Amino acid sequence: MKPVKLSFWGIAIVLTGLCLAAEPPFSVPYEFLVLRALLINYSGIIAIGMMSVAMILAVRPVFFEPFLGGLDKMYRLHKWLGIGALLMASTHWLLTQAPQWLVGLGLMARPARHGAPAPGEGVQQFFQSQRGLAEGIGEWAFYATALLIVLALLKRFPYRHFFKTHRLLAVAYLFLVFHSVVLMKFSYWREAVGPVLAGLLMAGSAAALGILCSRVGQSRRAVAVIDEISRHQDIHVLEVAILLKGRWRGHQAGQFAFVTFDAQEGPHPFTITSVWNGDGRLRFAIKALGDYTQTLPATLKVGDPVKVEGPYGQFNFIGNKPRQIWIAGGIGITPFVARMKKLARQPDGKIVDLFYSTARADDEIISRLRRDAQAAKVTLHVLKGGDTPLTVERITRVVPKWQSSDIWFCGPSGFGHDLRRDFRARRLPAEDFHQELFELR
C-alpha cells in the first residue's frame, strides 16, 4: 500500500505547493474575507485536482499498474482521492456559505458590497460574464457528486445500481470542470498551477467522456461463450470455463479479468485460474459472496454469451528471494492454482510453501490442489475449519527459513491485515508482503 499512500499525499502536496506559489498566504492582508477567498481558491483547486486524477484512474490505465502494484491498488487510490475530493469540496462549499450564515446569526456584519470587477479582455471578460452560471452549476454539481460518492462508499448499496449510478459522476465532473475554469482566480492561469491544472482537467474530461461513451477497457475486451460449468455446492463455489471468440492478449498466473455475464449487472472482477495456452479457453472460480454471485449457479448455462475485459493485476509472484510463502484464505486460492499450473510447466527454482485456510473443505478441490502442488513441487499445507487458526507463529514454525522468503497473500482483507501486521512485527520488510485486494469499491 506504500505506493498508494505516496501517490495520494504526493498529489495533495504538489497541488498545495502550486497554490502557495501562485498566492503565498503572507502576501495578503490577514482579514477574514481575504483569507476566506484564499482558502476558497485553494480548496477548490485541491478538490478538482484530486477528482481529475480519480477520473483518469477510473478508465483503468494499465501503464500505472507496475508503479501502484496492480489495478486493485489503483482502485484503492481512486477511492481515497474521491473521499479527499469530497472533503475538500465540502470545505469549499462551507467557505462560500459561511458569511451569510454568520450574518444570519448576528455574528458578523454584512460585508460592504464592492462594485463590479474591472472589465477584463478577451477570455477574462468571457469568464466574468459566466460567473453566475458557473456558481449555480457548481453548487448543484457538488450536491450530486456528494450523493454519488456517498452511495459508492455504502457497501450495502447493490453493485448493479452502483455500476450505473457511479457513471453519473462523469457528468457531474464535467460540470465541475466548467465551474473551476470560469471561477478560478484568473491570475492563477499565468502561474505554474494554471497549466498543471489545465492538463489534469483535459485528461479528466477525456476520461469522463470515455466513461460516458462506454469506452473503458475497449482495447482489452473480448467476447466469449460459456463452455463448461462445475458446481461445488458444499463450499458455494462455481467453476466456469469460457471459450473466447475474439482476440486475447494472453495473461500471467495471478491476474484477473472483468467478466460480464449480465449486461444489467455489469462487469465483476474474477481471478483467472487457468494458464494461457493460446487455445482461447479461460477458467474462473466464483465464490457465492453476494446477492449476484449467489444467483449465478441458477442462471448460467453452457452456450451463454460472455464479455471479458483484461487481463489486469500485478499479483505476479516476481521476487528476489529464494523462497516464497503463499497464503490463501477461501476463494483466495485461485491465483495460486494458476501459478502452480504454470510452475508445473516452467519451474522457477524457488522453494514454495502454500498454506490454504478454508472454513469448508471440498474433497474434490483438495485432491486437485494436492495434484497441482505435487506437479509444481509446492509444499501444500491445508487447514480446515476445525483446525487451529493460521497465524504467523504457526507459519514461521512450519517454515523455519521464512526470513529468506517473500510472502504472497490472497484472501479476506481482515485476515491479510493481521498477517501483515504480525509479519512486520517480526521485521519482515513491507515490500516483501504482497497482497491481492478483494475490494474494488
Q: Where are the domains of the chain?
A: 2-113+120-212, 218-312, 323-436
Task: Name the least confident of 37-41, 44-48, 123-127.
Answer: 123-127
pLDDT of residue 440: 63
**What separation in angstroms does the CA of 202 have from each of 52, 113, 125, 205, 260?**
9, 35, 22, 5, 30
Domain at 323-436, CATH class: alpha beta
pLDDT of residue 33: 78
pLDDT of residue 226: 96
pLDDT of residue 288: 80
Q: Could you tell me the three cell numbers for 76? A: 484503492
**Residue 289 in this model has a pLDDT that exceeds 60:** yes
**Residue 115 in this model has a pLDDT that exceeds 60:** no
Query: Of 300, 248, 236, nearest to 274 (Cα)?
Result: 248
332-381 pLDDT tens trace: 999 999 999 999 999 999 999 999 998 877 788 899 999 999 999 999 99
Give the number of other Cβ atoms within 10 Å of residue 308's Cβ: 24
Per the model's pLDDT, the better-predicted residue between 232 and 191 turns out to be 191
Q: Which residue in this structure is represented by grid cell 495533495?
A: 12
Strands laid side by side in the 281-287 sheet = 268-271, 256-260, 305-312, 221-232, 237-244, 281-287
Give Cα 228 distance to the centre of its chain.
31
Per the model's pLDDT, the better-predicted residue between 115 and 163 turns out to be 163
**Alpha helical stretches, state H, 107-192:** 123-129, 131-153, 159-165, 168-183
**Sequence letter at residue 76:** R
pLDDT of residue 2: 84
Strands laid side by side in the 405-410 sheet = 378-383, 351-357, 323-329, 405-410, 433-436
Domain 218-312 belongs to what architecture?
Beta Barrel (2.40)
Region class of 255: left (phi > 0), else alpha (psi between -120 and 50), else beta: beta
pLDDT of residue 100: 76
**What separation in angstroms does the CA of 421 have from each of 408, 415, 425?**
14, 10, 6
Percent of the chain, pLDDT > 90? 68
Coil, strand or helix at 379? strand
User: Is residue 190 within 8 Å of 20, Cβ to Cβ?
Assistant: no
**Residue 398 in this model has a pLDDT that exceeds 90:** yes
**Residue 386 in this model has a pLDDT that exceeds 70:** no
* CATH code matching the domain that covers 2-113+120-212, chosen among 1.25.40, 1.20.120, 2.30.130, 3.30.70: 1.20.120
Per the model's pLDDT, the better-predicted residue between 191 and 101 turns out to be 191
Q: What is the pLDDT of the chain when averaged over all its residues?
A: 90
Question: What are the backbone dihedrals phi and psi of residue 428, each rounded to the nearest 5 degrees, phi first?
Answer: -75, 130
Coil, strand or helix at 395? helix
Confidence of residue 118 (pLDDT cuts 50, 70, 90): low
**Residue 111 in this model has a pLDDT that exceeds 70:** no
Tell me what the mean pLDDT of segment 255-262 comes to.
94
pLDDT of residue 404: 94
pLDDT of residue 342: 94
Distance (Å, whole) CA 414 – CA 430 = 17
Tell me what the mean pLDDT of segment 62-88 comes to.
94
Query: Of 411, 234, 249, nearest to 334 (Cα)?
Result: 411
Tell me what the mean pLDDT of segment 51-57 comes to.
98
Distance (Å, whole) CA 281 – CA 416 = 31
pLDDT of residue 246: 81
- Predicted TM-score (pTM) of the model is 0.89
Per the model's pLDDT, the better-predicted residue between 1 and 405 turns out to be 405
pLDDT of residue 18: 97
pLDDT of residue 325: 97
Give the number of other Cβ atoms within 10 Å of residue 3's Cβ: 18
Coil, strand or helix at 289? coil
pLDDT of residue 441: 65
pLDDT of residue 119: 62
Distance (Å, whole) CA 399 – CA 3 = 29
Omega into 311 within 30° of 0, i.e. cis? yes
pLDDT of residue 113: 60
Distance (Å, whole) CA 242 – CA 240 = 6
32-58 and 168-183 helices cross at what angle (nearest 10)? 140
**Residue 191 in this model has a pLDDT that exceeds 80:** yes
**Residue 114 in this model has a pLDDT that exceeds 60:** no
Tell me what the mean pLDDT of segment 200-209 comes to.
98
Cβ-Cβ contacts under 8 Å for 340 (sequence gap 6 or more): 354, 372, 373, 375, 376, 378
List of E strands, 298-377: 305-312, 323-329, 351-357
- Give the H or E element holding residue 258: strand 256-260
Nearest-5° angle of CA 166, CA 248, CA 338? 90
Task: Name the least confident of 49-58, 191-200, 344-353, 383-392.
Answer: 383-392
Tell me what the mean pLDDT of segment 106-127 comes to.
68
- Domain 2-113+120-212 and domain 218-312 have a common topology: no
